Amino acid sequence: MTPSVIKLKVTDEDRRIAWLATAAVGLSLVDAAIPSPLPGVKPGLANIVTLVVLARYGWATAVWVSGLRVLAGSLLLGYFLAPGFFLSLTGTVFSLATLGLTRHLPARWFGPVSLSIFAAFAHIGGQLLLARLWLIPHDGVFLLTPIFSLAALVFGTINGLIATKLLNELPSQPEPSCA
């Protein structure tokens, strides 16, 4: 006889987060496949999902989706708990905190492009800080700042544009179908 089975109730919100996180993880994999001239300079395509989720479902959902993406992405790419994982986590924490603040900017004037750029700069800022404090305790790391900030500006703008386009083309999207 089986004792009582613990049954977790799966809400629609859970399903939605799972689907969106899957999309983000997929984009992380695409990201990792793109060759990069310098470690750390990446398009960060998964942030498009974060931006769309933030605009559609709010900050809390965006935190869930990003958090799951970092965790699952690192497991799939095999750097879970390696330095790259902590860099990724720090960048995500910093950019989510920044998104939490900047999403209150008047939407009439500031679109996802602004949020994306702010988040990208916060992302590299956090990563450089962690790298300086922990991985490479030498001011030499900051020599990379100009290159990273240029990448943040370029990719932040592009990702923000893609997110804006997606938000415009999928107006008030229905539940992600579980097909």
Partner 1 sequence: MAWLALIKPGDWLVILLGMLVVGISFPLFWQGGLADRAIVRQNGQIFANLDLRAKRQLAVPGPLGQTLIAIEPGRARVVSDPGPRQYCVRQGWLMRPGEIAICAPNRVSLQITGRTKVYDSISY
| Residue with Cβ nearer partner 1 (15 or 165) | 165
15 binds partner 1 (CB under 8 A): no
d(CA 166, CA 161): 9
User: Which residues in 79-98 contact partner 1 (CB under 8 A)?
Assistant: none
Minimum CB separation of residue 150 from partner 1 in Å reads: 5
Contact pattern for partner 1 over residues 116 through 155, marking x by CB under 8 A = -xx--x----------------xx--xx-xx--xx-xx--
Q: How far apart are the first and last CA of the chain?
A: 35
Residues in the site for partner 1, rule: CB under 8 A?
A: 105-106, 108-111, 113-114, 117-118, 121, 138-139, 142-143, 145-146, 149-150, 152-153, 156-157, 160-161, 164-165, 168
